[in-house]
Amino acid sequence: MVRINCMLFLFMVLILSCSGDTTDQGPVNNLKPSNLSIDVEIAGQSSENPNGDGSGEVNLTFQAANATLYKILIEGQLKESTSNTLSYTFTDEGTHDYSIVVSAYNQGQFISKTISVTVYVEELIGLIWSDEFNNRSLDLNKWNYETGTGVNGDWGTGQLDRATDRSENISFQNGIIDADGGCLVITTRDETFMDREYTSGRINTRDKGSWGPGHRIVARVKASGVRHQGQGFAFWMMPQEKPVTVDAIMWPQGGEIDIMEYVGSIPYHNLGTVHYAWEWQNNQYQDWNHGHLGGYYSYETQQTPNPEEPGYGNFPPPENDPNAGSSGFHEYGIDWYDDRIEFFVDDSIYHIHYLKDGGAYTVDGQDEKSVELVDGRRVTISEYSNHFDEWHPFEHKMYAILSAGVGGSDYTYGGPIVPEAQFPCSVYIDWVRVYKME
């Protein structure tokens, strides 16, 4: 009898223990988050500096009962965190008010709270960001590896390569002639790797460095291996920011800036281009909805060539031909103003794109481009890309990309690869620098 009572008591204890883990709303881990609190610490905040010390750094601490995930919306960027802290640095100079939305999630249930902060960022002039590539490894505080073959196996240009994070494709080298120091080396290779017969390298500064109007963005590059059709290298920019009404902004509605687009099929010229959309189209891709305005640069004449569209041909150039982009280092950059973007190579401006209709020509609702003489030099002048109210792509921050590629469809990225193309094909990047213009 005593044995039975003990067993009955143990059974009742087990029942009570299990029932203690449930409520009328289900298991504890399915409870809706509650009691969301948010604490904000602004770097250098004091009675004398109520908006901070000018660094723009804000530290957030948030807590909600039953929360397993936090989502934080800041400046149109959605960040996720399984911890209850987040540090963010605002970069818009001056004193600004910002709204921060914090949402606590658990099993599809959530609670949100919005707070406002006022932050001061001191004005900086001159060099504000750079990577000199002297440390023989990729600085992951500044860059991300971007691997794969793009969306659904297509980077959008008909390329044949797979980007990897291997040292075979992204490496570092000292002792390069005419380099200021060490160089980042991005190499394409003719090799079977996973599902592709070519490999390449691609890195970007997304979420780690982005810039917009008021900045000079420039890279010093020697595209020595790019000498045949189907080989190419690009230094370009894509949107960091987006409207708060969408989860992601579609290409080309968000815009694209190609600062350096150098291909072996056009070895004596560089192309500087803007890509944009004519209509918002509810942020959906339409194959007809793509505008692009670009200008070529002649290494020989240091201006827009004549004719202005050089076309494929004259490859490979002779070794060390000074009129080919593969023969030496050049500085490829843009000066990004509120109303225009000026493309230059070695400080020679060859393409100026105005953002608004009427910036360079009459107000007529038409995209326009022509070659004009500016200070005695041929310069491509184009307008416009602000076609709809939902988003003006070149009035917002973009992140930088360095990428190599193999192959391409006609009229994109230099055309199909030719059998005589030589590999490995290496490009040397001496440095990337960003300046705040006065």
Q: Which two tokens stand for residue 437?
A: 């213009």
Q: Are 415 and 229 in contact (CB under 8 A)?
A: yes
* 202-204/398-406 β-pairing: antiparallel
Q: Measured between alpha carbons, how far is 158 from 414 in angstroms, rounded to an integer?
A: 10
Q: How many CB atoms lie within 10 A of CB 12?
A: 10
Spans of the chain, pLDDT less than 70 = 1-28, 411
- pLDDT tens by residue, 306-351: 999 999 999 999 988 999 999 999 999 999 999 999 999 999 999 9
Which of 435, 420, 397 has its CA nearest to residue 77? 397
Q: What is the pTM of this model?
A: 0.77
Where exactly are the structural domains of the chain?
Answer: 28-121, 126-436
380 SS3 class: strand
Q: Which CATH class is domain 126-436?
A: mainly beta
Q: How many CB atoms lie within 10 A of CB 190?
A: 16
Q: Are 323 and 280 in contact (CB under 8 A)?
A: no
Q: How high is the pLDDT of residue 12? A: 40
- pLDDT tens by residue, 62-119: 999 999 999 999 998 899 999 999 999 998 889 999 999 999 999 989 999 999 999 9
Burial class (CB within 10 angstroms; exposed 0-12, middle 13-18, buried 19+) of 255: buried
Which of 244, 346, 339, 265 has its CA nearest to residue 302? 346
Q: How high is the pLDDT of residue 324? A: 98
What element of type H or E holds 13?
A: helix 2-19
The overall longest dimension of the chain from CA atoms, in Å, is 111
- The CATH number given to 28-121 is 2.60.40.10
Is the bond leading into 276 cis (omega within 30 degrees of zero)? no
The amino acid at residue 404 is A
Q: How high is the pLDDT of residue 411? A: 65
* 183-193/77-81 β-pairing: unpaired
Q: How high is the pLDDT of residue 258? A: 98
Q: Where are the beta strands (DSSP E) in 147-255?
A: 161-163, 170-173, 183-193, 196-200, 202-204, 210-211, 215-222, 231-239
Q: Measured between alpha carbons, how far is 406 from 417 in angstroms, rounded to an integer?
A: 7
Which of 430, 428, 433, 412 has its CA nearest to residue 155? 412
